[in-house]
Amino acid sequence: MWSYILRRLFFGIPTLLGVTIIVFTLLYLAPGDPISAMVPSDAPLEVVQMIRQQMGLDKPLPVQYWRWLTRVAHGDLGNSLATRRPVLNEIRAALGNTFLLAVSAAFIGFTMGVVLGTTAAFFQGRWVDKVASAVAITGVSLPHYWVGIMLIIVFSVTLNWLPAMGMQETSGGSSLWTLLRHMLLPSIALALIPMGVITRMVRASVLEILQQDFVLTLRAKGLWSRTVTRHVMKNAAPPVLTLMGLQFGYLLGGSVLVETVFSWPGSGFLLNLAIFQRDIPMLQGVILVLATFFVILNLMVDILHSLIDPRIRRT
């Protein structure tokens, strides 16, 4: 067991290094000189040269990468070009909000996905199955940013039940009720994709177990109780759990669009802001932090998977 976990942790290191290389490269993908984003276009050449030297941008790329990596490893993601504050502090504040949204969206999406998928599988081919499958395919086909706008139109503009935005003003010292009211619409918009994906996966997974010999034997014997259902669910669980881990990661990293629609002060909103202010250190910081979370999450899912299903450990 431990050898598997250690091996898995060990393989995570090159992945993380790869992530840092990609994030570092982002600076050079940006059109023009990285400096041009920092100084006004009419800045004298000597000043540009000075900043270049100060930031070490005149050194060869591998040297620059190494310097940047050492700083990052010490928790220094640089300062935001826009606010001049350390990137890490800004991200820390925003990440909590994104996490909150991701957890509530995951809760809604996963619960609905499991319920719909299981029902569909047990009633395969009947109308319940058809409805569930239609809901699932709609869920994965809907552009969630558009759903966010639709929800605002219906529940905020027309019915005036829930606030469309304004989470910023309420954050800190706000009551749980206000928070929930602000969270509901973006969570629903975000929950659609995981709901669809999980429904399809649960349906396929349960169906496969239902057709296995041991279930067929039990059913042939006339046994069809909660115990059998429990065995079916337990056997169908591992691939679904893996997918849930992935989907949760997608929620953390993919909430940019929904956060923009609802002006939700999370990491996605920060990312969007960074892009428009051409604040590359902020862009790099947010992406690095989110990708690191995603790698750790995948690692945990793999380890959890091996705990549930010991066959994994031998491969």
Q: Is 61 in the site for other proteins (CB under 8 A)?
A: no
Q: Which of 13, 26, 47, 180 binds other proteins (CB under 8 A)?
A: 26
Check: CB of residue 208 under 8 Å from CB of residue 124.
Answer: no
Candidates 106, 189, 261, 270: give the one binding other proteins (CB under 8 A): 261
User: What's the closest the beta carbon of residue 137 comes to other proteins, in angstroms?
Assistant: 6
Residue placing its CB nearer to other proteins in the complex, 170 or 298: 298
Q: Cβ 266 to other proteins, closest distance in Å?
A: 13
Rounded to the nearest 10 degrees, the angle between the axes of helix 280-308 and helix 87-122 is 40
Q: How far is the CB of 44 from other proteins (least distance, A)?
A: 26
For other proteins, which stretch binds (CB under 8 A), given 29-37, 82-90, 107-115, 223-231?
A: 29-37
DSSP secondary structure string, the chain?
A: -HHHHHHHHHHHHHHHHHHHHHHHHHHHHSSS-GGGGTS-TT--HHHHHHHHHHTTTTS-HHHHHHHHHHHHHTT---B-TTT-SBHHHHHHHHHHHHHHHHHHHHHHHHHHHHHHHHHHHHTTTSHHHHHHHHHHHHHHHS-HHHHHHHHIIIIIIIS--S-SS-HHHH-SS--HHHHHHHHHHHHHHHHHHHHHHHHHHHHHHHHHHHTSHHHHHHHHTT--SHHHHHHHHHHHHHHHHHHHHHHHHHHHHSTHHHHHHTT--SHHHHHHHHHHTT-HHHHHHHHHHHHHHHHHHHHHHHHHHHHH-GGGGG-
Nearer to other proteins, 140 or 179 (CB): 140
Q: Which of 111, 174, 211, 227 binds other proteins (CB under 8 A)?
A: 211
Please say whether the beta carbons of 222 and 235 come within 8 A. no
Nearer CB in complex with other proteins: 123/145: 145
Distant-in-sequence, close-in-space partners of 103: CB < 8 Å, separation ≥ 6: none
What sign results for the dihedral spanned by CA atoms 151, 98, 77, 62? negative
> How far out from the chain centre does Cα 314 lie?
29
Answer yes or no whether residue 217 interacts with other proteins by CB under 8 A.
Answer: no
Among 10, 14, 40, 44, binds other proteins (CB under 8 A): 14
Which range, of 2-10, 25-33, 43-51, 64-72, touches other proteins by CB under 8 A? 25-33
Q: Is 283 a binder of other proteins (CB under 8 A)?
A: yes
Binding mask 155-194 for other proteins (x = CB under 8 A): --xx------------------------------------
220-259 mask for other proteins (x: CB under 8 A)?
-----------------------------xx-xxx-xx--
Q: Which residue, 23 or 244, is less far from other proteins as judged by CB?
A: 23
Residue 131 is a binding residue for other proteins (CB under 8 A):
no
Residues 137-156 that bind other proteins (CB under 8 A): 137-138, 140-147, 149-150, 152-153
Positions touching other proteins (CB under 8 A) are 14-16, 18-19, 21-23, 26-27, 29-31, 124-125, 137-138, 140-147, 149-150, 152-153, 157-158, 204, 207-208, 210-211, 249-250, 252-254, 256-257, 260-261, 271-272, 274-276, 280, 283, 287, 290-291, 294-295, 298
